[in-house]
Chain A
Amino acid sequence: MMFLRLLVISAGLILVWQIVVLLTGAPPYILPGPLRVATALVVNWETLLQHAWITIVEIVAALLIGSVFGTASALIMMASRSLKRWLLPVLVMSQAVPVFALAPLLVLWLGYGMGSKITMAVLIIFFPVTAAFYDGLRRTEPEWLELSRVMNASPTAILYHIRIPAALPAFASGLRVATAVAPIGAIVGEWVGSNAGLGFYMLHANARMQTDVMFAALGVLVTVALVLYFSVDWIMNKIVYWHLN
């Protein structure tokens, strides 16, 4: 049903797009029509796939690293109140600095390769994961904790058997948000300095006034982002199987 809705929305948008092109009579280098973009997509398919693969690897790597960092930060803050006092300002500060402003620096430090893009995306991803998971860990049903203590459970057992599973739905929400914003980090990183990836390819096409290729790359990027989002959503629904009931 979701995919059918997506299909209908896409068809609607393409229709509006075609109408705008017809009504405005805009030249193709300003606003190419859907057919021209579809042609560019077919003609440049292999190149687009190569660059898309680079971007996908960057996003997935950043999601994995960002999730690990986010989970670890949340667990550390949960485990130690004094560590939390030190860690929380750093976390907030990391979000106060616009990641886009850091992009040139990261390219300078980490080079034109994937490292700088992955780091950019990690910076964007790990905060929603940390915030959501930490919130989930803190909001465990107090009576579950009380019951566990009456049952003589150790703090480690309570964390493993009660707090973490109880926080998984919140973690899943954080990861879904992170997945939705992850492509931003990778693409901005590619714009600032790279020699591969969809962001690089779009910039390359833009410089040559190949607006139709830019649109084709944008279409591929949106598809990649959607597939990633729905994959993560599906995996999370499998992990947090009880939450759907």
Chain B
Amino acid sequence: MKTDDLSPFTDAPGVILENVSFAFPGVELFSSLDFEIQGGQWTCLLGPSGCGKSTLLRLISGSLRDRFSGTIRFDGVTETKGRTSWMAQKDLLLPWLSVLNNVLLGARLRGEVSEQRIKTAISLLDAVGLGHCADDLPATLSGGMRQRVALLRTLMEARPVILMDEPFSALDALTRIKLQDPYPCDDRQSRTPEPCDAAAGSPAAQS
């Protein structure tokens, strides 16, 4: 598969958390948390439900900025904004956009849609067997197809750090195994990710 336009793992930085504390109102989730994730590899976070795996991914993604104390940086760079892409447990496809436009969501939001990006998105859709659904609405797709579209949307961002929050947990075992095959980054990896974790260059959460 051609993924020249996407280079998520080139110079993937390590993620460093120093003295990170975070609390929801009345509930302290992390206190003085320190840890480091190596760049350019898959890392899987395991833990029971409610221990804070998803929140940790959100902290790294930058969406909970200003609500934690401590430092989160990528190998020396404190600004994490614009360097991560995030795939949630739910596919979060926008029901009013076609499959193709959902894959191009990031570019649409930033006003960066170009012929090249559209071509890349179409070739990725073809690669995962969804080329014929490019103009369809997400409501017409099955759960497994929707997750594949969400995965492509995540990879289209071409960010050095990819955060995946139990992306395939809502799927049945057979679909999960099928989703491994079209994983568009296999050529960069020494192994295909386990269906449960699926994270690139950085952490994924799995309970």
Q: Does A242 contact B (CB under 8 A)?
A: yes
Which of A143, A161, A242 is the one whose CB lies under 8 Å from B108?
Answer: A161
A242 near B137: Cβ-Cβ < 8 Å: yes
Chain B residues, CB < 8 A from A141? 92
Instruction: Tell me if A's interface is mostly helix, strand, loop or mixed.
Output: helix
Query: How many A-B Cβ pairs are below 8 Å?
Result: 59
Residue A210 at the B interface, CB < 8 A? no
**Is B174 engaged at the interface, CB distance under 8 Å to the other chain?**
no
Is A165 interfacial (CB-CB < 8 Å)?
yes
Using a CB-CB cutoff of 8 Å, which residues 18-54 of chain B contact chain A?
A: none
Contacting pair B63 A149 (CB below 8 A): yes
B96 A152 Cβ-Cβ under 8 A: no
A150 to B165, CA, bound (A): 14
A residues 146-174 near B (Cβ < 8 Å) are 146-153, 157-158, 161-162, 165-166, 168
Is the beta-carbon distance between B92 and A144 smaller than 8 angstroms? yes
Residues of chain A from 210 to 245 with CB closer than 8 A to chain B in the complex: 241-243, 245
Select from chain A the residue with minimum beta-carbon distance to B81: A152
Inter-chain contact B96/A143, CB cutoff 8 Å? no
**Residues from 157 to 177 in B contacting A, C-beta threshold 8 Å:** 157
- Near B by CB (< 8 A), chain A positions 111-162 give 141, 143-144, 146-153, 157-158, 161-162
In contact, A245 and B137 (Cβ under 8 angstroms) = yes
**Residues in chain A near residue B58, CB distance under 8 A:** 146
Structural contact, A143 and B110, CB atoms closer than 8 A? no
Q: How far is the CA of A245 from the CA of B138 in the complex (A)?
A: 10
| B127 at interface by CB-CB < 8 Å | no
CA of A157 to CA of B207, assembled, Å: 34
Q: Which residues of A contact B77 (CB under 8 A)?
A: none
**Which B-chain residue is minimally distant from A144 (CB atoms)?**
B92
Q: B109 is contacted by which of A143, A146, A151, A168 (Cβ under 8 Å)? A: A151
Chain B residues with CB under 8 Å of A149's CB are 62-63
List chain A residues, Cβ under 8 A from B106: 151-152
Instruction: State the Cβ distance, B149 to closest chain A Cβ, in Å.
Output: 13
Decide yes or no: A144 and B94 within 8 Å by CB, A150-B85, A152-B109, A242-B139 being known contacts: yes
What mask results when residues 92 to 124 of chain B are scored 1 for a CB within 8 Å of chain A, else 0?
Answer: 101110000000011011110000000000000
Instruction: Name the residue on B nearest A241 (C-beta).
Output: B96
Give B residues with C-beta under 8 Å from A. Answer: 58, 61-63, 81-82, 84-86, 88, 90, 92, 94-96, 105-106, 108-111, 137, 139-140, 157
Question: Which residues of chain A have a CB within 8 Å of any CB of chain B?
Answer: 141, 143-144, 146-153, 157-158, 161-162, 165-166, 168, 241-243, 245
Query: Top 7 nearest A-B pairs by Cβ distance?
Result: A153-B109, A245-B139, A151-B106, A242-B95, A150-B86, A242-B96, A146-B63
